[in-house]
Each structure stands twice: as structure tokens, then as C-alpha cells.
Amino acid sequence: MHEKSVLISGGGIAGPALAHWLARSGYRPTVVERSPAPRPGGQTVDLRGAGRTVVERMGLLPAVRAVTVEERGIAYVDTNGRSLGQMSAEAFGGEGVVAEIEVMRGDLAQVLLDAARDGVEYVYDDAVTAIEQDEDGVLVRFQRSAERRFGLVVGADGLHSGVRALAFGPEEGFVRPLGCVTAFFTVPDRYGLDGWMRMYNAPATMLALRPDRVSGRVKALMGFRTPPTGVHRRDAAAQRALLTRTFAGTGWVADQVIADLQDSSDLVVEELGQTRMESWSSGRVVLLGDAAWCPSPLSGLGTSTALVGAYVLAGELARAAGDHRTAFAAYEAVMRPYIAQAQELPPGGVNGFVPRTRLEIALRTQAVRWMNRWPLRNLMAAQFGKSDAIELPDYAVSPPTSGAFVG
Ligand SMILES: Cc1cc2nc3c(=O)[nH]c(=O)nc-3n(C[C@H](O)[C@H](O)[C@H](O)COP(=O)(O)OP(=O)(O)OC[C@H]3O[C@@H](n4cnc5c(N)ncnc54)[C@H](O)[C@@H]3O)c2cc1C
């Protein structure tokens, strides 16, 4: 009776994408999201390879292209803003550091939400607090809503997944910190980017500015090396204070960006980490996206792997006619090799993003100058080619319907 009702925890990227596919194959998804409304914030995420193919199969490529951000490429600058080396958006066939399809995370989330409305129930400002499984289904308790039974529960609730903690155990057992904090926020366009993403490193810090889709604004990205701090759990005032202390006087436009940070309304601070798990399911509970395999933003593959995972999970459930054991095993079999290579970080790893010393910065800058030439060119091409390293099964799901089921 409950077999076709699926609770999805997390209304970010993976959650609504899965809801879209499940609704198309006759399931009744409910999405519970902790935030009171769809979360804005974040900056451009890359749509690459198989992730782009999934968006195409969802029929959403035109909607995504309509909100694509035009970026000319990435330029590494010195403290005076002079370019030290650059890579254009066309490098590596449009699959370089700046991918051909760059879209604001908030815009992509909105496109996915719009595509997963019919037949999908959304509950905001709530979260799962307890999960009890039996032979026929799962009893779920919530912070605010009354308890309910579902056939399946999916944790698509990000790096710090609540469902993972309840069904698999504490985060420390699964999330490997990478020793780096990142912050995303929006600032006024006063930095003369001229269409380029500009990135500056001082020892152990990184500041980047990228064009926004909306004129008059640019996206700021900060990164700094640190042992785990739990900063993502602190309030925005404490996060601003930490960023201000860390970046004051580091060079280039850091002081102006810090001044602009105080007025920003969409600050997102996160500790970089990767999720590593031996299994993504436990009975009727399964994990998806960052909750299961976060490859970290350094990979440039977090969004694409989440979209591909949503497609494969829904497709295998449909193919197995709802036999969740068979479907979850097939989902892992299809996804594991793709995820394993997505989690191998690009050459240099965190050091390529936030070098710790002046010598490391100089070496990284040299590497950028050589990126378009052999042998680095081959190394980088291999990294960017990973986005396509999966043969997407064809699940023959019916085309989108409207008004099939609500609630
Ligand atoms: C606001 C925001 C901004 C981001 N910006 C960037 C960026 O600029 N660049 C980049 O590379 N990556 C960014 N990311 C991460 C990126 O979206 C993911 O790596 C990737 O798209 C995988 O998506 P996901 O749906 O698995 O996870 P996420 O996109 O992180 O979505 C998880 C969702 O679950 C919700 N959630 C968390 N805990 C609970 C809970 N206990 N109960 C219910 N809901 C819960 C969160 O509020 C969020 O909406 C951002 C994530 C967020 C949430």
C-alpha cells in the first residue's frame, strides 16, 4: 500500500531531480526540506557530460540554457590584479575549469523544482527525526509534521545528511574533511571582471570573483586552509567574523570584498569534504547525491553526479517494478565506478585550489601556464573527461505528465 510512496529528505539538486523521475514512473514522492523555502545562494555549478545528458532527457536543456552564465574563462591574478595565466571557456572542448554550461546553483535548483511540481508534495521547514523500518514500509517522525508511513526513504540532504545519521550512523564515520573552508556570497559589481572569473591566492587563502547572470552583481568565493572547525554549524555573524579575520589585508581586492560581505544576504559557508560509504542503502532507506558520495566542489562533478544518480535510482526502481532490494543493488552497480573516479581530485587536489605557501602558489601558477600544453594538457583532459565516464542506461520512462497526482 505504501510501496509507491517515497519520502525524499532534501530539496536541493538531487531531491527534486529524483522527484521528477519518480513522478514520471508512477511513484508518489514527498520532499521534505529543512529550510523554510528553496535555498538561494551558491554560485555557478558546472553541467558536464552525463549530467548534461540527464538534463536533456528531463527536457530541461532549453530552460537551463536560458539561465546560463556567460563566462570567458578563468584568469589567475597577482595582488595587483595582473593576469598570471588563464584558461578560456573554450579550452578542452568546453569542459575545462569553466565548463560550457555554467549555471547558478539557485537557478538550476529553481528549474528542477519547476519541473518536479506535478505529482510531488513539498514540505518546507521540517526534517526527519526518526526512522523505523519493518517488512512493509518505513515509519517516519518529523520535527513539525505528524508521523507518516512511506514505502521508501531517500536521503538527498547533502554532505551533512540527517537521514544518513539516522540510518547509518554519525557523520564522522563517512565524511572525510579536506582541510579547507569555502564561502559563497553575492557582492556588487565593482571589480571590473570583464566577463572573466578572476582568482587570487595568498598563502593558505583563495579569493575568486565570477560574473553573475544578473548585471550589477558578482559572485564571491573564498577558500582557506584550516583543520575542521564546524564553521558550517555556526550562525552567519560568526561566519562573517571568521572570514573577515582570515582575509583582512591578504591582498588584491580582499578588503573591499570583506566590506561587501557584511551586507550580503546569501552567505553559504561549508567545510570541504568527501562522503565515502561502503553501501548507500540500508533496507528501505537509500542515499543519493552529496549525502552518499559528495565528491566536493573541487571535482566540478557534484551537481552532475547528483543528477545522474537521481536518474539511475528512479530508473532502476522502475525497471525492478518496485523491488527495492534489486533496484538499490543495480543503482550501486551502475553508479560506483562513475563515483570512484569522480572522487579522485584534479591534479594538486586542495593544493591546486588553495596552495599553502608562496612557493606552492608559484608552482601552481606555472602549471596553469602549461595547462594547454603536453603533458599537463593530457592530465587535465583526463580530469574533465570523467564527467562522461558512464554509459547511461535507457530506462524508457514515459514523458512528463501533468496533474497526475498531488499530495
Ligand atoms: C545553498 C547551497 C549552495 C551551494 N553552492 C554551491 C556552489 O556554489 N558550488 C558548488 O560546487 N556546490 C555548491 N553547493 C553544493 C551542490 O549543490 C551539491 O554539491 C550538488 O549539487 C549535489 O546536490 P545535493 O542535492 O546532493 O546536495 P545539496 O545541493 O547540498 O542539497 C541538500 C539539501 O538538503 C537540505 N537539507 C540538509 N539537511 C537536511 C535535513 N536534515 N532535512 C531536510 N533537508 C535537509 C539542504 O537545505 C539542501 O537544500 C551548494 C549547496 C547548497 C545547499
Q: Which cell numbers in the block locate residue 226?
A: 584550516
Give long-range contacts, CB 8 A cutoff, 24+ apart: 378-385: 379/347, 380/92, 380/96, 380/346, 380/347, 381/92, 383/346, 383/347, 384/48, 384/92, 384/95, 384/96, 384/300, 385/49, 385/95
Q: In angstroms, rounded to a whole number, what is the distance separating the alpha carbons of residues 49 and 303?
A: 11
| Cα angle 146-147-150, degrees, rounded to a multiple of 5 | 130
Please state, rounded to an integer, the average pLDDT across all residues of the chain: 90
Mean pLDDT (whole number) for 377-385: 65
Mutation pick for ligand 1 pocket among 30, 43, 45 (CB with most ligand atoms within 8 Å): 45
Alpha helices, DSSP H, located in 183-283: 236-247, 254-261
Q: Which cell numbers in the block locate residue 26?
A: 508512477
Q: Measure 178 CA to ligand 1 centroid, in angstroms.
A: 17
Mean pLDDT (whole number) for 360-367: 87
- Residue 319, amino acid: R
User: 223 in ligand 1 pocket by Cβ < 6 Å?
Assistant: no
What are the tens digits of pLDDT across the range 262-316? 999 999 999 999 999 999 999 999 999 999 999 999 888 899 999 999 999 999 9
Give the count of beta carbons closer than 10 Å to the beta carbon of residue 218. 24
> Is the Cβ–Cβ distance between 2 and 27 less than 8 Å?
no
246 pLDDT tier (thresholds 50, 70, 90): very high
Mutation pick for ligand 1 pocket among 303, 305, 313 (CB with most ligand atoms within 8 Å): 303
Nearest residue (by CA) to ligand 1, atom 11, is: 297
Q: In angstroms, rounded to a whole number, what is the distance separating the alpha carbons of residues 189 and 171?
A: 38
What is residue 40's predicted lDDT score, i.e. its pLDDT?
75
Mean pLDDT (whole number) for 308-336: 96
What is residue 305's predicted lDDT score, i.e. its pLDDT?
96
> Is the Cβ–Cβ distance between 10 and 109 less than 8 Å?
no
User: 45 in ligand 1 pocket by Cβ < 6 Å?
Assistant: yes
What are the tens digits of pLDDT across the range 235-245? 999 999 999 99
Percent helix, strand, coil in the chain, to 5, is 35, 25, 40
What is residue 214's predicted lDDT score, i.e. its pLDDT?
87
Look at 34-38, 160-164, 241-245 and tell me which has the smallest mean pLDDT.
Answer: 34-38
| Cα angle 210-196-243, degrees, rounded to a multiple of 5 | 30
Render 150-199 in DSSP notation, one character per residue.
ESEEEE---TT-HHHHHHT--GGGTEEEEEEEEEEEEEES-S--TTEEEE
Mutation pick for ligand 1 pocket among 34, 64, 186 (CB with most ligand atoms within 8 Å): 34
User: 310 in ligand 1 pocket by Cβ < 6 Å?
Assistant: no
Q: Measure 63 CA to ligand 1 centroid, in angstroms.
A: 21
> Is the confidence at residue 406, as pLDDT, over 60?
no
User: 151 or 404, which is more confident?
Assistant: 151
Mutation pick for ligand 1 pocket among 157, 222, 272 (CB with most ligand atoms within 8 Å): 157
Mean pLDDT (whole number) for 365-391: 70
Helix, coil or strand: residue 29: strand
405 pLDDT tier (thresholds 50, 70, 90): very low
C-alpha dist (Å) from residue 337 to 284, 324, 343, 386, 389: 23, 21, 10, 11, 9
Mean pLDDT (whole number) for 74-90: 88
Percent of the chain with pLDDT strictly greater than 90: 73
Look at 98-112, 208-222, 272-286 and tell me which has the smallest mean pLDDT.
Answer: 98-112
What is residue 251's predicted lDDT score, i.e. its pLDDT?
97
User: 295 in ligand 1 pocket by Cβ < 6 Å?
Assistant: no
What are the tens digits of pLDDT across the range 123-145? 999 999 999 999 999 999 999 99
User: 142 or 102, which is more confident?
Assistant: 142
| Cα angle 290-295-301, degrees, rounded to a multiple of 5 | 95
What is residue 221's predicted lDDT score, i.e. its pLDDT?
96
Q: How many helices (H) and strands (E) does the chain have?
A: 14, 18
Residues whose CB is less than 8 angstroms from the CB of residue 1 and which lie 6 or more positions away in sequence, other chains included:
136, 137
Give me the domains of the chain, ranges plus CATH numbers: 5-67+102-175+275-347 (3.50.50.60)
From the CA of 161, give the closest atom in ligand 1.
38
Nearest residue (by CA) to ligand 1, atom 53, is: 12
> Is the confidence at residue 402, as pLDDT, over 70?
no
Q: Which cell numbers in the block locate residue 329?
A: 543493488
404 pLDDT tier (thresholds 50, 70, 90): very low
399 pLDDT tier (thresholds 50, 70, 90): low
Dihedrals phi, psi of 64, to nearest 5 degrees: -70, -45
Sheet of 268-275, strands arranged across: 83-88, 73-77, 196-202, 205-211, 217-225, 175-188, 268-275
What is residue 397's predicted lDDT score, i.e. its pLDDT?
72
What is residue 400's predicted lDDT score, i.e. its pLDDT?
56
